[in-house]
Amino acid sequence: MRGGSLLFLIFIILFLGIVDFYTFRSLRIVTSDLSATAKLIINILFWLIPVIIISLMFILAFNMRKTFTTGMFRVWYFLMGFFAIFYIPKLVIIPFQLGNDLVRLSGFIISKLSGVGTRAENAGEIMSRAEFLTKTGIIVAAIPFVSVIHGIVRGRFNYKVKNLKLSFSNLPEAFNGFRVLQISDWHIGSFSFLHNKVKESIDLINKQNADIILFTGDMVNNVASEVKDFIPLLKELKAPYGIYSILGNHDYGEYVRWDSEEEHAKNMDDLYSYEAKAGFNLLRNDSVIIERGKEKIGIAGVENWGLPPFPQYGDLKKALFNIKDIPFKILMSHDPSHWDAEVINKTNIDLTLSGHTHGMQFGINIPGIKWSPVKWKYPRWNGLYQESNQYLYVNVGIGYIGFPGRVGFYPEITVFTLQKS
């Protein structure tokens, strides 16, 4: 383990220690009326959680390379799931415990300034308010606790189909009613030993009877070998006008320390080969013309183009070269920031399809409220955006990575029905 990694690990342990010791005070308040045996059991369980998490952190830290290229990835998911279940609620409790301390401190200061001490009834009132804040914090913390568990157990497999109708004046008449299905960010290595869940999503995709399937990048988490065992399943995807894909930032294998450039290059060649065997036509700064009747539309796909630290391999000019005279164009570009940087008001691309953000796999998505922390980095992070007569759609992905769950933003299959206006 490198020195930088060790310092980071120490920082995380210190952070967890501060959170645990502070929230433990809340636990002592709400369990004050329980028996000594019950308190002991609860206390042991409370401190067992950080022991498990820190132990897993050390296991992964000393096997860093294997963690992201082998089955040890499941250990990472177990760690992150455990962390999210128990530490997000703790972070919610902390402000309430802080309020508790401020109430107690204010009572102490008032009593000292008065010079006569706090009367018994006032002291009791202060204690009551402090305990109320602590208990309220624990009740509020139950919301993310339950939400995260639901996101891990059910949310990450709760596939949702979204149907949108988009009208274009320049759409060729023959393509009126043409159905384009978008999926993105499969991160298929995360489904190790969960082939049945991939099968479930594929069956749902095929059920939509789309004319064409477009996959907007991040087939794998880190290495090409993740997709190999899923090739027979992926070959079951069907669309009469074909299945097309692009690369996302995770597909380049740049989050792995390779022993040589040759090994890295072989990984990329393997990924190209596996996608082809699965029936995906990979567009790498390239395009294809789709014909229906005697009319045509163009489908372009760029390699990843993202804001730093993500790579910028996309060459939009090259990707559009073969379809520059086609009246209607769809662009696949993994990172939605590419749309603002190079597409709108600079090209005549009608519809751009992106992914990448995942909706951070965590947020609030209810009627009237759609929010996720990812919006602080990506202003266009979910759903449909329009500037003049150009559209961008950001799909929140069908898979998951990092956190083994989805809260608020479930795995997505998007079907666009193109209409002639």
Tens of pLDDT, residues 187-213: 999 998 899 999 999 999 999 999 999
CA angle 374, 375, 377 (to 5 degrees): 75
At residue 185, the pLDDT reads 98
CA–CA dist 353, 65 (Å, integer): 33
CATH code for the structural domain at 159-420: 3.60.21
Tokens for 85? Answer: 């279940």
| Count of alpha carbons within 13 angstroms of residue 35, beta-carbon side | 3
Point out the least confidently predicted range of 128-137, 184-193, 324-333.
Answer: 128-137
Other Cβ atoms within 10 Å of 410 Cβ, number: 20
Tens of pLDDT, residues 5-24: 778 888 989 999 999 998 99
Q: What percent of the chain has pLDDT over 70?
A: 92
Preceding peptide of 327 cis, ω within 30°:
no
Average pLDDT over residues 209-222: 97
At residue 3, the pLDDT reads 56
Other Cβ atoms within 10 Å of 421 Cβ, number: 9
Closest Cα partner for 53 from 28, 26, 25, 90? 90
Tens of pLDDT, residues 244-298: 999 999 999 998 889 899 999 999 999 999 999 999 999 999 999 999 999 999 9
Closest Cα partner for 349 from 338, 335, 363, 359? 338
CA–CA dist 200, 347 (Å, integer): 38
At residue 25, the pLDDT reads 86
CA–CA dist 371, 215 (Å, integer): 25
The full set of domain ranges for the chain reads 3-153, 159-420
